[in-house]
Structure 1
Amino acid sequence: MKEELDLEAMRVNLQNWFESKLPRDSEIILAPLKRPGDGMNETFFIELQWRQGKKAKQENLVIRWPPRDISVFPKYHYDMKKQYMLLERLWDTAVPVPRVRWLEEDESVLGGPFYIMERVEGWVPGEFPPYHVAGQLFDATGEEKARIWWNAVDTIANIHTLDWEKAGLNFLGVPRAGTDFMERQIAYYDEIYALNNEPMPPVLKATRGWLLKNSFEPKYISLCWGDARLGNMIINEGEVVAVLDWELVFIGDPEADLGWFVHMDWATSVGRPDSPFPRLAGLPDMKETIAHYEKVTNRKVENLFYYEVFATWRMAIF
């Protein structure tokens, strides 16, 4: 009951906030906030209606703000301004993202900073349960599955081949030459694990040591999504129309994204620690996937195993 009262108070505050953003003669109606379900940030769907003169208008929007009671990541991880700037600068590039509309850093409105973006119509390949056993991708024809998969790989390739400097994304932090990229990554996940207040198990310590000992200078430095998986893509008519959840974004080795993408597909099927099941039939296999990625990026994938190990370690840290 408390959550409903809080959401209603937030709705009222938001409606008052919109009145300061829209034309003065607008008659604003904000429907109750609806939660679609999300991980790292608080995410709600909002339906905004207003009238200007005799003309009625409506927009379906999404609002995001940092989680209130979750400490999975360091506090600076939930940087709403950084997320807003990233989406704003990716808009109108080859990387499909929702269009952001407003950023509010005044915490008095909702108790924390937030941003609002347009809602993108479509569906997301499920993870609970995984798309390997149920959902729209599971029910699709073999041809449809392949089309969606290849479009997802093409989208990741577009992220990795984007001219991130031209797009003004240096604010994400650029690794120095040498092994600085992986040293930064390991240090970041050390911070995450430290929030558990528990000693790191020997197997994770050993893997951490192996990753550092075998680190190398990336051949390419690209924009990397950080959470590359089908479950973070909106699909509409067989095409990826939006890439979501950029909280883990970084500038670094694009093969780290590829390793995570491969790992997440495996970890939600045959790699499940409990009750594993076969990978969804009809999806191109990983050998074909890597070959396709290499073709569209004109880059040879050389260190996938290393980044699959990194992905496994990351997953264990979470």
Structure 2
Amino acid sequence: MAEGSEAEREAKQFADWLAKRMPSAQALSVAPVLRSGATGFSSDTLLFDLAWRERGAEHRKALVVRRAPLGHRVFPAYDIPRQHRILRILATTDVPVPRTPWLEEDPAILGSPFFVMERIEGRIPTDNPPYHVGGWVTEIAPAERSALWWSGLDALASIHRLDWRALGLSFVDTPGAGGTPLLRQLDDYERFLAWATQGERHPTCEPALTWLRANRPREEEPVGFCWGDARPGNMIFQDGRCVAVLDWEMATLGNPVQDLAWWLFLDRHHSEGLGAPRLAGFPSRSQTVERWEERTALSARHVDYYEIFAAFRFAVIMIRVAQGFIAAGALPRDARLATNNIVTQLLSKMLGLPAPD
């Protein structure tokens, strides 16, 4: 997040912008809020406290601004209007999402397009440190961890039960010529990989993509609305209950089991990938798969395939994350994080490839 004078400047610009959308508000003020930065790689998130007077009464509201990245991009494209549209549709369903009252596509206001959403009170399991080894999740009772996991999984299942056609969510489908959502996604991530590596060979991602193409399910698969970045670290919890699902930039159509596989792989990344045991209270993989099948009435028969697909996609994303660290001066230019990281280590293990070096 911006700090000091930059944060104050952004708050002033945001306040001026809000004043035009709240003409009856008097003495409107916006104050920037510092955040921990403990979760997420790709988003540019600004927190503000809004205060105003209207009809003699004092009002306060906590807001979040999701802005397209100003500098280094993890993904080739970052479609803010698309994310806002998804959230507005989901607000009409039983999926818990924040309200999103405003969208601004003019980059002149805050440097790039953005949308505004309400800030929901609660806690988010941390990615840095991963929640199995640090942060508040390590401090709660096993019973609350179990409740957190099940509530998050039930929210995920509610996404997969949506009638995406009736809701008008067909626009999230990955574009391309492939005959199935999976083929279109594989093509899309092949392009992503080429963009990220700039034509250089990646010793883990390339053989993984070959394996995924050769071993993809051949029968017709169910097509549902997929969250894309399905993990506890993209949820807000209150006392073990999921009250908001966040971060929809990876949403697409596909076999919903791919979300379950991403959920499982990210948890594996946060435990096995670090050489750490899973915390007491978290349900097992088999229990999780069984519960998801019960809640969705879908089969998880290809969950192992889609977990490799999850690891491959995350490995491609990590290339850009590593490049961002180098660009920011956080890593030396010869750092090998793009090819040797927790994700590529797990992916190599899953496919029986040589360990990255």
- Which TM class, normalised by the smaller chain length? over 0.9
Query: Does 2:110 match 1:110?
Result: yes
The 5 Å alignment of 1:92-107 reads 92-107=92-107
Code of the residue aligned with 1:196 in structure 2: it is: T
Cα displacement (A) at 1:143: 1.8
Corresponding residue SS for 1:64? strand
Q: Which runs of 5+ in 1 are unaligned?
A: none
Corresponding residue SS for 1:159? helix
Q: For residues 175 and 66 of structure 1, what CA distance do their matches in structure 2 show?
A: 21
Give TM-score scaled by structure 1 length.
Answer: 0.92
Q: For residues 16 and 177 of structure 2, what CA distance do their matches in structure 1 show?
A: 49
Cα displacement (A) at 1:137: 2.2
Cα displacement (A) at 1:177: 11
Alpha carbons 1:74, 1:191 under 8 Å: kept: no
Code of the residue aligned with 1:59 in structure 2: it is: K
Corresponding residue SS for 1:219? coil
Corresponding residue SS for 2:257? helix
- 1:204 is aligned to 205
**Residue 235 of structure 1: which of 231, 234, 237 is its match?**
237
Alpha carbons 2:173, 2:181 under 8 Å: kept: no
Q: For residues 33 and 128 of structure 2, what CA distance do their matches in structure 1 show?
A: 23
Residue range with higher mean Cα deviation, 184-193 or 284-293? 184-193
Percent identity between matched residues is 38
Name the CA shift for 1:63/1:158 in 2 (closer, same or farther; >3 Å). same
Q: For residues 53 and 144 of structure 1, what CA distance do their matches in structure 2 show?
A: 43
- 1:300 is aligned to 299
Q: For residues 19 and 32 of structure 1, what CA distance do their matches in structure 2 show?
A: 16
Corresponding residue SS for 2:101? strand
Code of the residue aligned with 1:72 in structure 2: it is: V
Cα displacement (A) at 1:14: 1.0
**Residue 223 of structure 1: which of 218, 222, 225 is its match?**
225
Q: For residues 106 and 167 of structure 1, what CA distance do their matches in structure 2 show?
A: 27
- 1:195 is aligned to 196
Alpha carbons 2:257, 2:300 under 8 Å: kept: yes
Alpha carbons 1:192, 1:317 under 8 Å: kept: yes
Cα displacement (A) at 1:208: 0.6
Q: For residues 132 and 114 of structure 1, what CA distance do their matches in structure 2 show?
A: 33
Code of the residue aligned with 2:30 in structure 1: it is: L
Corresponding residue SS for 2:27? coil
- 1:290 is aligned to 289
Query: Does 2:132 match 1:139?
Result: no
Q: For residues 43 and 294 of structure 1, what CA distance do their matches in structure 2 show?
A: 34
Q: For residues 92 and 49 of structure 1, what CA distance do their matches in structure 2 show?
A: 28
Q: For residues 265 and 286 of structure 2, what CA distance do their matches in structure 1 show?
A: 13
Cα displacement (A) at 1:160: 0.6
Name the CA shift for 1:127/1:41 in 2 (closer, same or farther; >3 Å). closer
Q: Deviations over 1:51-89 (max 9, x none)?
A: 1131111110101111111122113xx111111110011
Corresponding residue SS for 1:74? coil
**Residue 42 of structure 1: which of 19, 41, 44 is its match?**
44
Q: For residues 266 and 180 of structure 2, what CA distance do their matches in structure 1 show?
A: 25
Code of the residue aligned with 2:75 in structure 1: it is: F
Q: Deviations over 1:173-202 (max 9, x none)?
A: 278998522221122222322233252324
Alpha carbons 1:218, 1:252 under 8 Å: kept: no
Matched pairs, number: 312
Q: Deviations over 1:133-161 (max 9, x none)?
A: 23332222222221111111111111111
Code of the residue aligned with 1:104 in structure 2: it is: E
Give TM-score scaled by structure 2 length.
Answer: 0.82
Q: Deviations over 1:268-309 (max 9, x none)?
A: 11123xxx1111122110011111111111222110110111
Runs of 4+ in 1 over 6 A off after TM superposition: 174-178
Name the CA shift for 1:174/1:195 in 2 (closer, same or farther; >3 Å). closer
Alpha carbons 1:40, 1:66 under 8 Å: kept: no
Cα displacement (A) at 1:3: 4.9
Alpha carbons 1:156, 1:228 under 8 Å: kept: yes
Corresponding residue SS for 1:314? helix
Name the CA shift for 1:144/1:24 in 2 (closer, same or farther; >3 Å). closer
Alpha carbons 1:94, 1:162 under 8 Å: kept: no
Corresponding residue SS for 1:315? helix
Q: For residues 3 and 199 of structure 2, what CA distance do their matches in structure 1 show?
A: 31
Cα displacement (A) at 1:267: 0.8
Corresponding residue SS for 1:31? strand
Name the CA shift for 1:187/1:171 in 2 (closer, same or farther; >3 Å). same
- 2:11 is aligned to 11
The 5 Å alignment of 1:136-285 reads 136-173=136-173, 180-193=180-193, 194-216=195-217, 217-272=219-274, 276-285=275-284
Name the CA shift for 1:178/1:192 in 2 (closer, same or farther; >3 Å). closer
Code of the residue aligned with 2:304 in structure 1: it is: F
Code of the residue aligned with 1:261 in structure 2: it is: W
Code of the residue aligned with 1:61 in structure 2: it is: L
